[in-house]
Structures are given as structure tokens and as C-alpha cells.
Amino acid sequence: MSDQRTIIITGCSSGIGAYCARALKADGWRVFATVRKFDDLAPLEADGIEAFRMDYTSSDSIADFVRDVTRAGNGRIDALFNNGAYGQPGAVEDLTTDVLREQFETNFFGWHELTRQIIPMMRKRGQGRIVQCSSILGVVPYRFRGAYTASKFALEGLSITMRMELEGSGIHVSLIEPGPITSRFVATSLLKINEHIDLRGSAHATEYRRQLARLDGSGGPNRHKLGPDAVYDVLKHALNARRPRPHYPVTRPAKQGILLKKLLPADLFYRLIRRFD
Ligand SMILES: NC(=O)c1ccc[n+]([C@@H]2O[C@H](COP(=O)([O-])OP(=O)(O)OC[C@H]3O[C@@H](n4cnc5c(N)ncnc54)[C@H](OP(=O)(O)O)[C@@H]3O)[C@@H](O)[C@H]2O)c1
């Protein structure tokens, strides 16, 4: 069997996944990247990446992918980077339960379903890395991001539990918690808010207008925004370090948010972060 390490990365059509797939390939990994759309396969394949289609909302799609990637990797998967996700904005009272469920299907249940099917391959070899792309919103809640915040809080709880349960198995679990990163994330969030939230009929209509005016659809102005290479820096540590950390915050706002949450009384902290949404 070749010595080349293999990694699955989901959500590689853009942003963090697209960047990390190429960077890992350049660093010598054999990369199995997933996308949802047929047209997104070719750009990855052109860069020597083995690309597959997989949609977290479909159990069949996950099972088909696991079958194909098991075959491609000859049963060897060294690492899994769960990354593909989106953010559904909107006040909690404006979210239908179906829209909330949809958010969890992609950001939470799909990740669990895929991970469960990969762990046996890692257990057989007595080693593996599972890296979950969480968010600062998995640690610090933001107004009007309840669906996304809840999905990432749930992910944090599940992943850290899994980390403790897998202790001694050779499989390590880490969470990456980025703040603002350049990607298609904000553009997709704008589509989702317009698709699913009654912006005019809401009690929060004025607030929605203010927030939408602030965003320009290309990622929104934010002087603390970093490129996806900042995520790659910590991903490398989670994949290579002898003792990978449980949490990897990325960007200054993420690190500050986590520190303030530790230091400040809860009520004061929640009043303070209201100013940053
Ligand atoms: N950008 C940020 O500021 C930021 C901050 C904190 C955390 N994050 C996290 O970073 C990760 C990557 O996001 P990004 O910023 O790179 O955004 P992005 O450019 O929008 O990329 C998201 C990726 O997820 C895929 N995806 C969406 N729904 C999916 C589904 N049901 N099944 C499989 N894949 C799906 C998208 O595919 P399609 O092209 O087909 O939609 C796309 O490839 C996410 O977990 C996100 O929560 C991002």
C-alpha cells in the first residue's frame, strides 16, 4: 500500500474547501474532494484532485460516496475534513421549523452520517484525524443567526463528545472555529435569507433592512476578514501534530470573542456581542 496519506474534504466548490483541497494536494496528500454540482467536478480534477459528488442532505448520496471513496482509497482514509455547510440567517421567531431542520440536515446530521461511515475504516488501521469546520458561532451566539449558531453549537457538543470517546483509539477529533473568512458564505446567506424569511412582514423588518444594507453580496465589509489560507494553517496542525488540539479559533474576532466569553459575566458578554452583529 502506498505511503501517501488520504483525506476526504467536503464542500470543495468554493471557499475554504476549494482552497484546502488544493493546498493539501500540493503538500503531498491524496485528496478526495466532494461537491454537489456536476460542473464543480472538473476544476478540481484539472488540479489533480479526485472529485466526487456528495450532498449531506441525502443519505443515498452519502452512502454512494462512501462506497466510491472506499474503493478509490482501497479502504484507507487517513483524515476527514467535514467542511461543507451554509448559514441560514433570520431571527429565531421568523424561522419555520422546516427551515431550521434543513439547516441541521446539512450542517449537523449529514456530518454525523458521513463521519459514522468513515470511522470504521480508521478504527481498522488504529489511526485517523477528524477535523470539523465549526465557527466562532459555535462558541459565541449571534443575533439573527440562530439556525446556524444552533447547528454549530450542536456540532461542537457532538464533536467534543466524540473526541473523548475516541481517546486511545488513535483517532483524533478537532474543531476549527473561524471568524470571517473570504468565501461564498455571505453570498449564499443572502440567498437563504431572501428565500426563507418574510423580511417585510417581520417584527424585525427594520433590523433586516439595516443588516442587508451593510452587506454588499460579495462577502461584506470586514477589516478582520482573512483568506482561507488562515484556516489551512490550523488544519495542517490538526492533521499533523502528535497531539492535535480540540479547538482551533481562527481570526482575531474569533479569538477575542472566545476570550471575552471566558472572562466576562454572561449577561455583560451577551449585551456586548449584540454590538457586533
Ligand atoms: N466564511 C466564513 O466566514 C466562515 C466562518 C466560520 C465558519 N465557516 C465554515 O466554513 C465552512 C466552509 O464554508 P465557506 O466559508 O468556505 O463557504 P462557501 O464558499 O459557501 O462553501 C461552502 C461549501 O459547502 C457546500 N455545501 C453547502 N451545502 C451542502 C450540502 N448540503 N452538502 C454538501 N456540501 C454542501 C457548498 O456547495 P455548493 O457550492 O454546491 O453550495 C460549498 O462547496 C462551513 O462549514 C462554514 O460554516 C465559514
Ligand 1 pocket check for 222: Cβ under 6 Å: no
| Atom number of ligand 1 nearest to Cα 187 | 20
CA-closest residue to ligand 1 atom 11? 83
Q: Which of 9, 10, 13 to mutate to test the pocket of ligand 1 (most atoms within 8 A of CB)?
A: 13
Domain spans of the chain, in order of start = 6-183+225-272
The answer to whether the CB of 76 falls within 8 A of the CB of 121 is yes
CA 173 to ligand 1 centroid distance, Å:
20
Ligand 1 pocket check for 15: Cβ under 6 Å: yes
For 19, 34, 169, 183, the CA distances from 229, given in Å and listed in that order, are 7, 19, 30, 11
CA 85 to ligand 1 centroid distance, Å:
4
pLDDT of residue 216: 57
Ligand 1 pocket check for 86: Cβ under 6 Å: yes
Model confidence band, residue 220 (pLDDT cutoffs 50, 70, 90): low
Give the DSSP per-residue string, 189-248. HHHHHHHH--TTTSTTHHHHHHHHHH--SSS---TT-B-THHHHHHHHHHHH-SS--SEE
CA-closest residue to ligand 1 atom 35? 84
Q: What is the pLDDT of residues 31-54, one digit of tens each?
A: 999 999 999 999 999 999 999 999
SS3 content of the chain, % helix, strand, coil (to 5): 55, 15, 30
Ligand 1 pocket check for 138: Cβ under 6 Å: no
All three cell numbers of 95, joined, read 424561522
Model confidence band, residue 215 (pLDDT cutoffs 50, 70, 90): confident
For the cut 80, the answer to whether the pLDDT of residue 121 exceeds it is: yes
Q: What is the pTM of this model?
A: 0.97
Share of the chain above pLDDT 90, in %: 93
Instruction: Choose, from 19, 142, 148, 248, the residue flagged as catalytic.
Output: 148
> Averaged over 242-247, what is the pLDDT?
98
pLDDT of residue 128: 98
Pick the CATH number of 6-183+225-272 from 3.40.50.720, 3.30.390.50, 3.20.20.80, 3.30.70.100: 3.40.50.720
Share of the chain above pLDDT 70, in %: 97
Ligand 1 pocket check for 89: Cβ under 6 Å: no
| Atom number of ligand 1 nearest to Cα 16 | 16
Q: What is the pLDDT of residues 1-19, one digit of tens each?
A: 578 999 999 999 999 999 9
For the cut 80, the answer to whether the pLDDT of residue 219 exceeds it is: no
CA-closest residue to ligand 1 atom 8? 135
CA 267 to ligand 1 centroid distance, Å:
31
The answer to whether the CB of 32 falls within 8 A of the CB of 6 is yes
Ligand 1 pocket check for 73: Cβ under 6 Å: no
Residue 270 known to be catalytic = no
The gap from C-alpha 265 to its chain's centroid, in whole angstroms, comes to 29
CA 11 to ligand 1 centroid distance, Å:
6
Q: Whole-number mean pLDDT of the chain?
A: 96
pLDDT of residue 177: 98
pLDDT of residue 276: 77
